[in-house]
Structure formats: structure tokens, C-alpha cells
Amino acid sequence: MPELLASPPLPSDRMFINLGPQHPSTHGVLRVGLTVEGEFIVKAEPDVGYLHRGIEKLCESRTYPQCVVLADRLDYVSAMTNELPFCLAAETLLGVEAPERAQDLRVIVCELNRIASHLLFFGTYGIDLGAFTPFLHAFREREMVLDLFEALCGGRLTYNYIRIGGVMKDLPEGWGDLCRRFLTHLGERLPEYDELLSFNPIFLDRTREVGLLDRRAAVSWGMTGPNLRASGVDYDLRKAAPYCGYGKVAFDTAVGKRGSCWDRYYCRVREMAQSARIVEQALGGLAAGPVMAKVPKVLKPPPGEAYAHVEASRGELGVYMVSDGGASPARVHVRAPSFLNLQVLGELLVGARIADVVAILGSVDIVLGECDR
Amino acid sequence: MTDDEVLAKLAATFPKADKAETQIKGILTLRAASGDDLVALARWLKDKLGFDYLDMITAVDHVAERKAFELVYCFTQLPAGQRVALKLETPDPGSVPSLTAVFPSADWQEREVFDLFGVRFQGHPDLRKILTPDFLEGHPLRKDYVHAKDRFD
């Protein structure tokens, strides 16, 4: 009786599915309007702005050091790397340079923050795809980074450690040893991560052939950071235009081949090991001397424009700052990597299956605080 | 490519374009004479000089001093990382041609400038607000913006 068992053809009318803004796997308040035909997505419209706090406008009525505090609130999972371009832009306007020791300390904290940020990605990406255990492992290690930051400046999420002209204060007694102990611990755990998740057959099936983004598309859509490198473009600002103490350290950039979800994921995992390498070298070659340059109490940079960039955890973070000679910047623009990386979603999701939406979205690793500013 | 080489090639191709009056520190900053020039210049930078990556688009409000908005574009040459900036003035209320045909990544950045400054981009496929809520009137990054009390105050 085969004709009785055959199911009637499934209707494949177009249907609108709303993903977010309150959804655990959108990593914040992101809404994506999906138009689907059966199982496949024919149109995807990311809708951002739910977390817009007007930070660029707020900066116009605050002093330069107060702007750095706001910078912490952009990408709140790697706040150190957000403070840095604000300080670099203000320093360029002022014509000040941070002392060498401060430059080295900036490298150390930024790389530790990159590790913490990528650990968060590693954990949550596993959860997005149904693997809960890696999350617990990642948060164990991330906790250690946050403890290090707490010992350093008192803050666990928003630090205000990097200041215009240097850093807040020098390392506390014994911090270097604690940091080295963490690096050893992380070095032992990273191979475990590969066993747990990276080369897990189910995980590979869910990510390896999904969300492919070729080199050309990645460049024309303005991707940066691990997302761009995963597509085979060897561009890392720490190498292309070294800032602070990055010229002194040796490391390899993690470059992917095909720009799949797995490539984007694994670029970040490999970057963690490289960041640990950088911290190790920076700790070893830490210059002696003061950690703060001589800067006036009230900062009034001469009129001018500066545009500072750093390689943040999510890509190239730029701060364009215009001074009119007053105590507040006349204009601050944040070139947020998450904002530009998210744009590609409209193209990346078309043709994908509904089940892969979360795999693709998670692999782009966005933070909406930075995207919406 | 050095900044002087870029300038020499620029002078040969776009006689009306020049170095901008205010330079962004450390980045060669050019000035486009008109909106039409802007698109041609961007295409030239991309195709002929290899600045294939649109880094950012933003605007600065100069309405109080000279009744104009200044659009700022920044391009990068990948993977070397060399940058060049491009400026264009547009009288208030601003209107400039869109770069979306040359750089797809201009899409959201132009929407952002439209949302926050009210500058219109001709030829943009979908010029809608992007960051501020739909009920918000006005363009918050304009210096003359006055916040009207809403249900969140």
C-alpha cells in the first residue's frame, strides 16, 4: 500500500519568522526578520538599534577622560580593547605618547581581554549548537582572567584601566606570577577544547559546510578581525600597523581557508594560543619606568582630527575624534566592527536552512553594545 | 604607495580634487570637489589604486560655522593596511550620492549617517533609520538637536 503511506506534498508557501530581539542565541538584543520558503531562507533582514544609547552624542558633552569610561560600555566583553583607541586618538590630538612600560601593559591587558572574549565566544557558540559542557570549561578559564583584572584595577567587566597618557597604575605585587600561572593553565586546557568541541564530529557537521563567505565578499561587506581572516585574508592590524608594544612581540595570525562557520570559530580558538604567547613575551620584556606620561589635569587638545585603530577581539575598532580646542570632543565616531560584521548577515543567511541560522549568527560573534553604540 | 605618489596620481586624474584643508593626523586626507566626483574618486581608489576596503563613513556637523555637513570616508588597502581618507562638504540639509554601488558595506553606514544627521544619500537602495527608534523625530547627532521628552524620560 505505498500510495497510502506517501505523505501529501508539503506546502512551501513563504512565511515570515521573527528571530529575537529576546532570544538566547542572538547574543544581545538583535532582531532578524526571516522570510522562509519551507526549510530555506529566502530573505533575512537584521534589525539593530535596540541597545542604542547615543554614546557618540554623550561624548560631545563630556571631558576626554570621561569618554574613556563610556568606551567601556561599547563592547562590554572586551572593554580594555575599547578604551585603547579612545586613548590613542586623544593622545594623537594632544601630541602625547604613553611611556614604554604603559605601552607594554596595554598589550598585556588587551591580549588577556581578547582571551576572555574568545573564551566567551567559545562557550556560547557551543551552547548555540547544543553542546553545554564547553561553556563550563570556558567560563572556568574566563573567571581567572577576570580575577586578574580585578586584582589589577578593581573592575571585572568595565575597567577604565587604560588612561589618556598611559595606564591607571602599575602591576600589583606578584601579579606577573599569577598571570603566568594562568597562561600555563590555559596552555594545558586548549588541547582539551579541541577534543571537546573543535573536532567533535557533530560540531564539524554543523559548522564545516555552513555559512561560507568567500574572500571577495568578506572584503566588500567590510568584515574585519577573525571573520575576515577566516575567509583567507591575512590582515591583522597588530601586524599591518603595529601600535603600542605590538612591534616587539612575535606571533602568528590565524588565517582560515574557506570562510565557513568552522573557520571563523577555529580562527578564534587559535588566536587564544597566540594571545597567550604575546602576553608571555610582553611580561618577559616589560620595560621599566613610569606608567603615565605627563598630561595636564584639564585636557584641551588643539583643534584637529585623529583616527585611531586597534585590532579588537571582534575586528578593527576605530575611533575618529575631532577637537575644536574645547574640553569635550566636537565629534566622536566609533567604527564598530560588530556593526559592519553584522551587515553581511543579510547575504550569508540567504539559502541557509532555518536550523543553521543560529550556527551562522553565532559564528560572526557580535556584541550588540558595540554595534548599536 | 607613498602619500606623494597618491597625490601625484590624483592630480593627473582629478584636477579638481585636492588635499583637504584639515588633515586627519597620520592619514592622507583628500577632498572631493562635488558629489559626482566622490563616486568617481571612490571607484578610482578602489579599481586603480587598490584601496578595496571601505573602512568607515561618518559625518561632522559644521552647520553653525559654515552651514554644511562634512562627510568623511576612509579607505584601506588590504592586506598592507595603508589608509586614505576622503572628505566632501554638503550644504545643510545634506544630500550626497551613495557609494553602495561601489562598496556594498556602505549600506548600513550611510543609513547610520542619515539616521543621526539627516544627510540623504541619492541612489541608496533602502535609506531607512537604523539605530534610533521609529518614533524619534529629528537627527540626534546634529548640534541643533533638542531632545523632546518621551515616555522614557
Per-residue pLDDT tens over the stretch B52-80: 888 899 999 888 888 888 899 999 888 77
Residue A162: its pLDDT value, please? 92
Give the helix/strand (H/E) hosting A312: strand A304-312
Q: A175-201: per-residue pLDDT in tens?
A: 989 999 999 999 999 998 988 888 888
Instruction: Tell me the nearest-neighbour CA distance from A324 into chain B, angstroms.
Output: 11
Residue B112: its pLDDT value, please? 92
CB contact under 8 A, B56 and A316: no
Is cis: bond before A21, omega within 30 of 0? yes
Residue A2: its pLDDT value, please? 52
Q: A323-361: per-residue pLDDT in tens?
A: 988 889 999 999 999 898 888 888 889 888 888 888 898
Name which of A221, A318, A322 is nearest B104 (Cβ-Cβ).
Answer: A221
User: Can you give the C-alpha Rg of chain B in angstroms?
Assistant: 16
Q: Any chain A CB within 8 A of the CB of B11?
A: no
Structural domains of chain B in order of their starting residue, each with its CATH number: 3-96 (3.30.460.80)
The mean pLDDT value for B98-107 works out to 89
Residue pairs spanning A and B at CB distance below 8 A: 92
Cell numbers for A73? 560600555
pLDDT: which is higher, B150 or A79: A79
Distances (CA, A) of B69 to A150, A305, A338, B58, B115: 44, 15, 26, 10, 14
B114 confidence band (pLDDT: 50, 70, 90): very high
- pTM > 0.90: yes or no: no
Angle, to 10 degrees, between the axis of helix A64-71 and the axis of helix A79-94?
160
Q: Any chain A CB within 8 A of the CB of B15?
A: no
Q: A289-302: per-residue pLDDT in tens?
A: 888 888 888 888 89
The mean pLDDT value for B98-125 works out to 90
Which stretches does DSSP call E strand in A160-241?
162-163, 166-167
Q: Which residues of A touch B133 (CB under 8 A)?
A: 49
Closest residue of chain A to B132, computed from CA coordinates: A49
Mutation for testing the A interface, residue in B22, B28, B43, B58 having most A CBs under 10 Å = B58
Q: Which residues of A touch B81 (CB under 8 A)?
A: 235, 237, 240-241
CA atoms within 13 A on the CB side of B138: 10
The whole-angstrom separation of Cα A340 and Cα B54 is: 10
Sorted by sequence, the CB contacts under 8 Å of residue A107 that are 6+ apart come out as A244, A245, A246, A249, A278, A279, A282
Residue A243: its pLDDT value, please? 87
- If chain A, 373 residues long, is cut into consecutive pieces of 10 residues, what is the mean pLDDT of each piece? 63 81 76 87 89 89 90 88 92 90 92 93 89 90 92 89 90 90 92 89 89 88 89 88 86 88 92 92 88 86 90 90 90 91 87 88 87 87
Structural domains of chain A in order of their starting residue, each with its CATH number: 53-337 (1.10.645.10)
Q: Which residues of A touch B65 (CB under 8 A)?
A: none
Residue A184: its pLDDT value, please? 93
Residue A3: its pLDDT value, please? 60
Sorted by sequence, the CB contacts under 8 Å of residue A35 that are 6+ apart come out as A14, A15, A16, A17, A41, A42, A43, A44
Cell numbers for A344? 553581511
Listed by number, the residues of chain B in 74-133 with a beta carbon closer than 8 Å to a beta carbon of chain A are 74, 78-81, 83, 85, 103-105, 107-109, 112, 116, 129-133
Give alpha helix (H) positions in chain B: 3-13, 35-47, 63-66, 106-117
Q: What is the ipTM of this complex?
A: 0.87
